[in-house]
Amino acid sequence: MGYEARLELNDQRGRRWVGVHTPACADLRDLFTPLLAEEGLSEGSRALIERLPDGVGVQAQLGPNALGLHAPGLGDNSELVLKWVPPSQRGPLDAIVHATEGSRAQRAHLMAHRLRAFGLSVPRPLGYLERAHAPRRHPSLHVSAYVRSPDLRAWWSASLNEGSQAAQEAARRHQCLMQLAQALRMLRSQGLFHGDLHAENILVAEAGVVLLDLESVRSTGRGDRLVKKGLLRLDRDARELGGLRAVDRLRFLQEFLRHSANARALRRHWWRVLEAAPTSARVVAALEPDVPSEDVSPPL
């Protein structure tokens, strides 16, 4: 992880906020201070825009809670993503059991360091800010490097529209699927999986896929419920995009389950899980019909 400096601030009501920042991002204090309104952190990216300090420009609005910013005072880290992270909302019992745990922004920050140590591509974490008292019950702020790459949905749609280079684009889409399967396999090998896996949380960069929203990465526990939820949603998104054959989905599963014990049996199991999921007529229509029957069923 390396050295990180501690950050302490007080809002207008004197409440303590704590966090960390990388040594090169000492000016995060100047970024965070105006965002601490009297009632606490304002909700959403629109409220953040209204409180940004002078000299910080908005380059893009990345969803309802995140902003792509240009902050010249941060030097090499001048392009960053500022995200408002909502509190954990799992009921009063969760607040009591996990009272000593940090905020979801802290979780995203620490998880980014952990996944980068494993070799996974995630945005470089720069800092976070949370309430000193019961941080899980309050919103928090997370700052990371700005990765200028399209998300999977935008990239895939653009690839399908490249009619003049259809064969080359098909090879690139296949490579992207394999890179994503390898990333998820590596994540699962550490007993982790992404709890909010969908096309907008995956960037397609030159060096490979990049996972976002790391506060949603959780332990898989003893079962595969989290893995099932993630694969079902990802499979649904992928089939809605079109240009995806059944054999491509099988190869994704094969790569995801590589090095697993009983890989063939697991592949058959997960194929049945995906095929049993309800799909709309729009999703079914997006599938390419010209797939040989021997490619549709997983090999024994």
Side-chain half-sphere of 12: how many Cα atoms within 13 Å? 8
Same-domain check for residues 13 and 127: yes
Q: How many structural domains are present in the chain?
A: 2
Same-domain check for residues 160 and 109: no
Same-domain check for residues 199 and 276: yes
Q: What's the rounded Cα separation, in Å, for the pair 136 and 130?
A: 9
Q: What is the pLDDT of residues 178-223, one digit of tens each?
A: 999 999 999 999 999 998 999 999 999 988 999 999 999 998 876 6
Query: Average pLDDT for residues 17-33, to the nearest whole number?
Result: 85
Query: Average pLDDT for residues 90-111, to the nearest whole number?
Result: 75
Cα dihedral 90, 194, 69, 30 sign: positive
Predicted TM-score (pTM) of the model is 0.84
Name the average pLDDT for the chain: 82
For residue 161, what pLDDT is reported? 85
List the helix and strand counts (H, then E) for the chain. Answer: 11, 13
What angle do helix axes 152-160 and 166-189 make, rounded to 10 degrees?
Answer: 160
For residue 94, what pLDDT is reported? 58
Same-domain check for residues 137 and 177: no
Q: What is the pLDDT of residues 6-15, one digit of tens each?
A: 999 988 888 8
Same-domain check for residues 65 and 104: yes
Among candidate residues 95, 129, 145, the one where a domain is terminated: 145
Same-domain check for residues 61 and 13: yes
Same-domain check for residues 30 and 125: yes
Same-domain check for residues 81 and 117: yes
Query: Average pLDDT for residues 231-241, to the nearest whole number?
Result: 87
Same-domain check for residues 135 and 156: no
Q: Which domain holds residue 174?
A: 152-296
